[in-house]
Structure 1
Amino acid sequence: MRLNEVTYNDAKPIEGYGPGFFRIGGEVFHGAVLTGPQGTQAWGGYDADPQALLALAGQIDVLFVGTGAEVAHIPADLRSQLEEAGLGVEAMSSPAAARTYNVLLSEGRRIALAMLPV
């Protein structure tokens, strides 16, 4: 079997998570986070001003939204704003979103991830 090292270019992979935190690119972030081609930053969750998410339009094709420990719907008005801006939106549990993000990131896809903690 041949093993290949995974490279992520400039974006940083999700390395781990636990109750209330995420480890991304060697740094620990507490609370909800937004990560992608623009780097990693705190995200205020569904109640935050959506400008940080809307600013991704044109830079990415899909925004994954990690909904916490369980899969849930994101607020309809937020989904509508994101889709009207031309962003594809996929909601899933945060653990599944982290795994999916890492796989697609390793393939060089144009993606970002907004996650609520587990």
Structure 2
Amino acid sequence: MRINEIPFTDAVPVDGYGPGYFRVQGQVHSGPMLMAGGGAMAWDGLSDTAALLDLAGRVDVLFVGTGAEIFHLPAELRTELEAAGLGVEVMNSPSACRTYNILLSEGRRVALAALPV
């Protein structure tokens, strides 16, 4: 099998995750996390809509990681995000992290809001 290293230029990928944390650039971030290309920051979870709406115009797609299990976003939140021009993709957090990293490596304008597993 041939393995190729993925170049991320100036973008920052998710290095790993585990029970209650994410690892980005070698640093552990406990609890929910928000990433938009340049790095990770704490996020207050689904109730923190202001942080998500702040991404409008800067990214095209927001991946929402819902922890270990997938669940639907509240309809009001999804409507508000889509009205702001954000494409929203909901999946469990491991899948959201992997998908975010892949599209980030392609130079796409993506963000990740993830609840820990």
TM-score range, shorter chain: over 0.9
Query: 2: distance between equivalents of 1:37 and 1:56?
Result: 11
What is the percent sequence identity of the aligned residues? Answer: 62
Counterpart for residue 61 of structure 1: 60
Aligned length: 117
- 5+ long unaligned stretches in structure 2: none
Query: 1: distance between equivalents of 2:96 and 2:2?
Result: 27
SS at match of 2:15: strand
- Matches for 1:26-45 after TM superposition, within 5 Å: 26-45=26-45
Matched AA of 2:99: T
Counterpart for residue 18 of structure 1: 18
Deviation at 1:2, TM superposition (A): 6.3
Query: 1: distance between equivalents of 2:86 and 2:73?
Result: 14
- 5+ long unaligned stretches in structure 1: none
- Matches for 1:59-98 after TM superposition, within 5 Å: 59-98=58-97
Deviation at 1:37, TM superposition (A): 2.7
Query: 2: distance between equivalents of 1:25 and 1:77?
Result: 34
What is the TM-score of this pair, normalised by structure 1?
0.92
When structure 1 is superposed on structure 2, of 72-81 and 85-94 the one drifting more is 72-81
Counterpart for residue 113 of structure 2: 114
Q: CA RMSD in A?
A: 1.4
Query: 2: distance between equivalents of 1:26 and 1:67?
Result: 23
Counterpart for residue 104 of structure 1: 103
